[in-house]
Amino acid sequence: EVQLLESGGGLKQPGGSLRLSCEASGFSFSNFAMVWVRQAPGRGLELVSANSAKDGRTFYADSVKGRFTISKDSSTNTLYLQMNSLRVEDTAVYFCAKSMRSMSPEALDYWGQGTLVTVSS
Amino acid sequence: QSALTQPPSVSGSPGQSVAISCTGTSSDVGNHNFVSWYQQHPGKAPRLIIYDVRGRPSGVPDRFSGSKSGNTASLTISGLQAEDEADYYCISFAGSYDYVWGSGTTVTVL
């Protein structure tokens, strides 16, 4: 059974840093692209970052470029999102998700339950 | 990374069909067949219901179908049921490992 378990969310002040983790199980972690998607309160979905399993390419939304970094540890089947220089507008539920494919992240067949990040002074 | 355009809401009675449009440009929807659709109930994680314009993951009822014409992709729900009341989002590949989401559509079952 595929499972994705996010952790690391919480309350941070603007300018602070936070690292989210997503522990994956039930599939070959190294063979599939993995992504972080966020949803601000009452808003739509935003693909924050993606990591291709095929060629290591990464995608970042314009809103987080230069501030967020996606990474993964295949030895522990864990996906990370390092979030620096946090802004109030980064407040959202962050979902970890698995792609159906090794590279493209638009077909996400499994999702975690989400972790809430709140940025406020 | 401009959002794909979706109608804010659509509604229908049980048993009816509703269609949700997802309009992009010749750089995204019009130039690729990597369009997916997601269903999201309040407080829940999204669920993939259509991939590659018209592909349907196992377990998704066949009353959900996808199509594309030009720069517009569409999701059709046939035989609308109460549990279909949810938010629906499209996403498209936009070239060079770039992706763009739709703005979301709320489906209401009358």
- Residue pLDDT, tens place only, A76-104: 999 999 999 999 999 999 999 999 988 88
Question: CA of A43 to nearest chain B CA: how many angstroms apart?
Answer: 9
Residue A60 has pLDDT above 60, yes or no: yes
How do residues A40-58 score in pLDDT, each as one tens digit? 999 999 989 999 888 888 9
φ, ψ of residue A89 in degrees (nearest 5): -75, -5
Selecting from A61, A95, A104 the residue whose C-beta is nearest the C-beta of B45 gives A95
Query: Quick one: which H or E segment has residue B96?
Result: none
Buried b (16+ CB within 10 A) or exposed e, B14-34: eeeebebbbbbeebbbbebeb
Inter-chain touch B38–A45, beta carbons under 8 Å: yes
Q: CA–CA separation, A119 vs A11, rounded Å?
A: 6
* Tokens describing residue A50: 């993606």
DSSP letters spanning A13-52:
-TT--EEEEEEEESS-GGGS-EEEEEE-TT--EEEEEEE-
pLDDT tens for the 110 residues of chain B, in order: 568 999 999 999 999 999 999 999 999 999 989 999 999 999 999 999 999 999 999 999 999 999 999 999 999 999 999 999 999 999 998 887 788 899 999 999 99
